[in-house]
Amino acid sequence: MLGGDLVALWELALSDGVYRIEFAHGTTTGKRVVTVNGEEVIRRDWMFKLVGRETFTLGAANTRATIHIEAISGFAYEYSLDVDGKTLQKFVDDRAKTTKTWELQVDGVDCRVVLEKDTMDVWCNGEKMDTTGEFVDDGTETYFTVGEHELCIKSASSGKKKSGIVHYLMLDGGKVPASTQ
């Protein structure tokens, strides 16, 4: 693993999964190692410049991520992560507005279902699902299957201008509570 040089760790939820990003920085050698979900994506063993940035991509959509390395005083460094050109917090806040996530069990298997509200794409455990959509009296229903089970995402007006459209996930006719991610 990354050993004693591990200086930063972030977890980032994308539509196709949750990514664990680890950054090791050897402040005497300039070594930089980036791993994503335990897989090394960048390794630089000797760097004369101890500050700078490392850019890599994540997930099925090749989302661009950049780790910034800045000196704050003497031999102290600060590390930050930008995703899609935004600070991590801004990216997470924006995603909260454009996606809805549910975590549930189907036949004893953990499932993470993500709805991308702008495209109505549905992901389950990292796989883009084949869906069928239909208009109904109070909105839309998007159907897909997991194993032998039919799931449906119902989209309907909240009746309030500020909250807009609400989305519910139904598994075999029962409502699944939304995740906090």
Residue that has been written with the tokens 């979900």 in this structure: 37
Class of domain 97-176 (CATH, top level): mainly beta
pLDDT of residue 3: 59
pLDDT single digits (tens) 165-174: 899 999 988 8
Q: Give 6-32 pLDDT, tens digit per residue.
A: 999 999 999 999 999 999 998 888 899
pLDDT tens string 57-75: 999 999 999 999 999 987 7
Contact between residue 124 and residue 130 where contact means Cβ atoms under 8 Å apart:
no
Pick the CATH number of 3-84 from 3.30.70.270, 3.20.20.70, 3.90.480.20, 2.40.128.180: 2.40.128.180
Q: Is 110 exposed, middle or buried (0-12, 13-18, 19+ CB in 10 A)?
A: exposed
Over the chain, what is the mean pLDDT?
91
* pLDDT confidence of residue 57: 97
Q: Report domain extents, the chain.
A: 3-84, 97-176
Q: What's this model's pTM, rounded to 2 decimal places? A: 0.85
The domains spanning 3-84 and 97-176 adopt the same CATH topology: yes
Beta bridge partners of 39: 36
Name, in order, each residue with C-beta under 8 angstroms of 56's C-beta and a sequence gap of 6 or more.
34, 36, 41, 42, 64, 65
Helix (H, G, I), strand (E, B) or coil at 60: coil
Q: Indicate whether 122 pLDDT > 60.
A: yes
Q: Say whether 3 sits in a helix, a strand or coil.
A: helix
115 to 7, 53, 95, 97, 145: CA distances (angstroms): 33, 32, 11, 11, 14
What average pLDDT score do residues 114-138 get? 94
pLDDT band per the 50, 70, 90 thresholds, residue 120: very high
Residue 180 pLDDT grade (very low, low, confident, very high; cuts 50, 70, 90): low
